[in-house]
Amino acid sequence: MERNNKLFAVSALFNTPNEIISAASKTAEKGYTKFDVHTPYPVHGMDTAMKLKPSNLGFVTLGFGLSGTGLALMLAYWTMNVDYPMNIGGKPLFAFPAYVPVIFEVTVLLATLATVIGMLTFFFKFPSNSHPVHDTNFMKAVSMDKFGVIIESEDPLFNEADAVSFLESLGGNSIEKIYYPVKEAYPVFDKKFIGLQISIALVVAGLTYVTLNKAVYIQPFSWMTDQFRSDVQASSTFFSDGRSMRLPVDGTVARGFMPYEYSELTTQPEKPLTNPFAPSKAFLELGKKKYETFCSPCHGNYGDGDSRLREQFPNPPSLHSEKVRTWKDGNIYHVIVNGQNVMPAYAVQLNDEERWAITSYIRVLQRAKNSTEEDVKLVRKEIISNVAQ
Amino acid sequence: MSHSDKMWVKKDLPVRVQNLGFLLLGVGLAAGITGLFIDAHRFMMNYLIAFMLLVSIGAGSLFMVALEYIAGADWSVPVRRINEFYAASVLFIIILAIPVLMNMESVFHWAQPQAVSEDKILKWKAPYLDTTFFIVRILVAGGIWSLFYSLLSRNSKTQDLTKDQNLTRKNIILSAIFVPIFAITVSVVSIDWLMSVEPHWFSTIYGVYFFSGSVLASLAIVTYTTVWLKEHGYLHPRMTNDHLFSLGALLFAFINFWAYIAFSQYLLIWYANLPEENFWFIQRWEGGWMIMSILLIVIHFLVPYSVLLSQPAKMDPKRLKFASLWILFAHVFDLYWLVMPSYHSEHSTGFFTYILEFGFPIAAIGLLILLFYFKTKKNNLIPIGDPKLDKSLNFRL
């Protein structure tokens, strides 16, 4: 590895664990704070010999764990009490015992993630992934059978000549000066490296998708998809007629359906039905509403046949003609149910009551168009009494 | 191998330990027996609490000895004898059960023939909750525990003289046989002696609940004893605070385990809200018991959890002494909370306590101190013949 002239540390090697423990404690006693010890395996008692303080990582874990507790409690409270209050089994909305497992899990999750991420960033200084002692003879020795000490140049007491003679006085051998590398050998944010990672991720994801969904598709569970039942509209080998659906029994009537005896008749019936409803105000208002929705587009708001669709559609005849006025209610009803000439049937859109309501409303329109003197007097009287009130 | 300048020398414990033991036993028994004349029923229940305290510490300690053998624990060798001495209390279980067995009808509702004949549920449970069968079960459990205690401690004692490594292997095999038997016997004993105080109620996790508390209590008393003995120089001079850390970590682990089991029991019953289960918790939420139930969470979980959370706390002798005494009290409190509401519900009185009710538990502690004192007179405090002793003394975190 290419190195520059800037000194990182002075290193020394020792042969036994006892020597390294005594070297570490003497270095710490001398007042050095920025020094490190490298051993091929963990040597017990090193922390106390080096006078290391306990790691602060525990506080990161504690802080994030407690924030997990708080966040999960707030999440549970907000979702179950504010956003979507739901009564579950008669329990109070703030059902704390039920929240506890969630709170516990989120606490553990945040604490664990924070510990790993905190360790990588604060303590391992991510994205830096190298150290000046890497790729030195010192590192080769301490990763095999030697025990080594380094005193870093950033230490306030550091002086190159002093450090070397101090390490010699401890009995260290192979004293080596370690210089900073010119550049990081394997930077994390390298274009090639990131590109390689992304392409590996894409290839693995693609292969996984193709393998699991196309090549060897295996259902994880089939309890719900494979069932011993016939599908709607599908053929069946179980029934002799080959249908999976059964035909209704003869004479079956759908709920809410009112049979109309002349529904097949294209001409007017000889004995039309009679209107079973009395023309109350609410009934006539229902008729007005339905008339304006379904009839007025062609017949016009007042039944004159002057619709909004004029010239785009054959105009229907006026509802105020002599023929319609002399018709019985049942005849109008018959036209609504069956249609007439170009007019389609409205049996599907309108139920029995609505058809009769429209019929009655047409009668209102007809009377208004051909009002007598007495009708006008009646209306005036009504208006005056309304104003007086 | 051995450091001749730092060898362990057997010393007798000071006489004041014996005096303290006798004092606690005497005062406790006097208070308890006075109570028996005031309210016989209540103080029989109180005696049951003290009895279960001894059972939990004896059985829990015996379990810890077996567990340390099976797990091949290195750190625990210098403190294993302390566990062993407390485990000796299993020898007295059958004798100490006699006062309860003589007053079955006053302690256990199901032992009253009239109550059973009027009660459909109790009739159905009668084949199990039968006085003769009950006595047979405690005889069997006490017998099994005593047998395994005698075998394990005899082998360990012989090893002090012969230094025979095969004895360790024998004890490992014995422990492996003992642990599954212990799981069954401790469940049976806790169901018989604690759960059946409220014979209409049932909880399938009850055995585990009692087990967690019993191991916690025995760990607490062992931790306190270890710290005390270490401070006064009775243990091996090469023992460090790292050994204490293992005890502290186990204490912390079992605090969490107890809370986990206690909460699991509560959550399921609370969620299902079935009348045949939930009345037990309702009893513990009414008539002043609500404060006791909340205090149980604080005393048995929150306080020791906070005290022992940090790593330095688990090896600091002062904090360990505080935490272990606290947990011992919490266990007595837990047993009181398990037993007494049933007495209250039967007498429809709200929560109240006599100062005399501390009597029997204090006597039980006094008995344990005396047991420990006389055990140390005859036996070595450290298994000096154990092949792992030297390795164990070198144990570092």
Render pLDDT for A299-329 as a digit per residue (tens, 0 to 9). 888 888 887 777 777 778 888 888 888 888 8
Two tokens, residue A62: 């504690």
Residue-level pLDDT at B299: 96
Q: Provide the pLDDT for residue B4.
A: 44
Per-residue pLDDT, averaged over A252-276, amounts to 81
B242–chain A nearest CA distance, Å: 11
**3-state secondary structure at position B204:** coil
Cis peptide before A316 (omega within 30 of 0): no
How high is the pLDDT of residue B2? 44
Q: Are B266 and A58 an interchain contact pair (Cβ–Cβ within 8 Å)? A: no
Contacts of A98 in chain B (CB under 8 A): 267, 271
pLDDT at residue A215 tops 90? no
Burial of B279 (0-12, 13-18, 19+ CB in 10 A): middle
Residues in chain B: 397
B270 touches A at CB < 8 Å: yes
Would B5 be classed as within a structural domain?
no
Whole-number pLDDT of residue B98: 94
Has residue B280 been placed in a domain?
Answer: yes
The whole-angstrom distance between A148's CA and the closest CA on chain B is 21
B2: in domain: no
Chain B nearest C-alpha distance from A91 (Å): 8
A90 lies within 8 A of chain B by CB:
yes
- B92 close to B260: Cβ distance less than 8 angstroms: no
Q: Is A4 helix (H, G, I), strand (E, B) or coil?
A: strand
Separation CA B147–CA A320 (nearest Å): 112
Q: How many helices (H) and strands (E) does chain A have?
A: 13, 4
Whole-number pLDDT of residue B37: 87
pLDDT at residue A236 greater than cutoff 50: yes
Structure tokens at A321: 């003609």
Q: Residue A90: its chain B contacts at CB < 8 A?
A: 273
Domain that holds residue B352: 10-393
> What are A62-119's pLDDT values in tens digits?
999 999 999 999 999 999 999 999 888 888 999 999 999 999 999 999 999 999 999 9
Dump the DSSP string for B266-327. HHHHHHH--HHHHHHHHHTTSTTHHHHHHHHHIIIIIHHHHHH-SHHHHH-HHHHHHHHHHH
- Contact at CB, B310 and A58, closer than 8 angstroms: yes
DSSP class per residue in B162-186: H--HHHHHHHHHHHHHHHHHHHHHH
Answer whether residue A223 shows pLDDT above 50.
yes
Chain A nearest-CA residue for B310: A58
DSSP classification of residue A243: B
Asked if B136 has any chain A CB less than 8 Å from its own CB, the reply is: no
User: What pLDDT does residue A45 have?
Assistant: 83
Closest Cα in chain B, distance from residue A17 (Å): 15
Q: Kindly state whether B311 is in contact with chain A, defined as any CB-CB distance less than 8 angstroms.
A: yes
Residues sharing a CB contact under 8 Å with residue B8, sequence separation 6 or more, in sequence order? B235, B236, B237, B381, B382, B384
Find residue A3's DSSP bridge partners: A181
Degrees (nearest 5) of the Cα angle B146, B211, B299? 125
Q: Is residue B4 part of a domain?
A: no
- What is the per-residue pLDDT across A322-354, written as a single tens digit (0 to 9) for each? 888 888 888 889 898 888 888 888 988 888 889
List the single residue in B with minimal CA-CA distance to A96. B267
Torsions phi, psi for A216 (to 5 deg)? -125, 70
The number of folded domains in chain B is 1
pLDDT at A388 over 80: no
Q: Is residue A35 within a helix (H) or strand (E), and if so which, with residue range?
A: strand A35-38
B259 inside domain: yes
d(CA A369, CA A362): 11
For residues B155 and B379, what is the distance between their CA atoms, to the nearest angstrom?
A: 13
Please name every residue paired with A176 in a beta bridge, in sequence order, or none if there are none. Answer: A11
Do the domain assignments include residue B119?
yes
Q: Residue B359 contacts by C-beta under 8 Å, 6 or more apart in sequence? A: B27, B28, B29, B30, B31, B32, B33, B34, B35, B46
When pLDDT is cut at 50, 70 and 90, the band that residue A235 belongs to is confident
Query: What is the rounded distance in angstroms from the CA atom of residue B109 to the CA atom of residue B347?
Result: 12
Ordered structural domains, chain A, with CATH: 3-181 (no CATH), 188-252 (no CATH), 281-388 (1.10.760.10)
Concatenate the DSSP letters of all residues of A287-315 into one string: HHHHIIIIIHHHH-TTSSS--TTBTTBPP
- Please judge whether B273 and A101 are an interchain contact, meaning their C-beta atoms are less than 8 angstroms apart: no
Residue B311 to residue A45, Cβ atoms within 8 A: no
Q: Please write the tens of the pLDDT for every residue from A276-296.
A: 888 888 899 999 999 988 888
* Tens-digit pLDDT profile for residues B328-339: 999 999 999 999
Contact status of B312 with chain A (Cβ, < 8 Å): yes
Instruction: Tell me if A106 sits within 8 A of A69, measured CB to CB.
Output: yes
Distance to chain A for B254, nearest Cα, Å: 17
- Looking at chain A from residue 27 to 66, which residues have their Cβ under 8 Å from any Cβ of chain B? 44-45, 54, 58, 62
Q: Which residue of A has its CA nearest to B309?
A: A62
Beginning with the edge strand found earlier in the chain, give each strand of the sheet holding A173-181 in spatial order.
A35-38, A147-152, A3-14, A173-181
Cβ-based contacts of A59 with chain B (< 8 Å):
none
Residue to mutate among B270, B297, B309, with most A CBs inside 10 A, is B270
pLDDT digits 0-9 by tens, A45-59: 888 899 988 888 889
Measured between CB atoms, which of A44, A58, A97 is closest to B270? A97
In the beta sheet, which residues pair with residue A313?
Answer: A310
Q: Greater confidence, A86 or A256? A: A86
Closest chain B C-alpha to A169 CA, distance in angstroms:
29
Question: Is B173 part of any domain?
Answer: yes
Over residues B257-300, the pLDDT tens digits come to: 999 999 999 999 999 999 999 999 998 988 788 999 999 999 99
Strands A147-152 and A35-38: antiparallel
Decide if A98 touches B, using CB distance below 8 A: yes
CA distance B179 to B360: 30
Chain B CB contacts of A46 below 8 Å: none
- Rank A122-126, A135-139, B140-144 by mean pLDDT and report only the highest: B140-144
pLDDT of residue B351: 63
Handedness of CA B119, B121, B127, B129 (dihedral sign): negative
CA distance B374 to chain A (A): 37
pLDDT tens for B100-158 read 999 898 889 899 988 888 889 999 999 999 999 999 999 999 999 999 999 999 999 99
Whether B304 is in a domain gets the answer yes
Tens digit of pLDDT per residue, chain B (397 long)?
A: 444 456 788 888 899 999 999 999 999 999 999 888 888 888 899 999 999 999 999 999 999 999 999 999 888 999 999 999 999 999 999 999 999 999 898 889 899 988 888 889 999 999 999 999 999 999 999 999 999 999 999 999 999 999 889 999 999 999 999 999 999 999 999 999 999 999 999 999 999 999 999 999 999 999 999 999 999 989 988 888 889 999 999 999 999 999 999 999 999 999 999 999 999 999 898 878 899 999 999 999 999 999 999 888 999 999 999 999 999 999 999 999 999 888 876 665 556 667 888 899 999 999 999 999 999 998 989 998 888 888 888 887 7
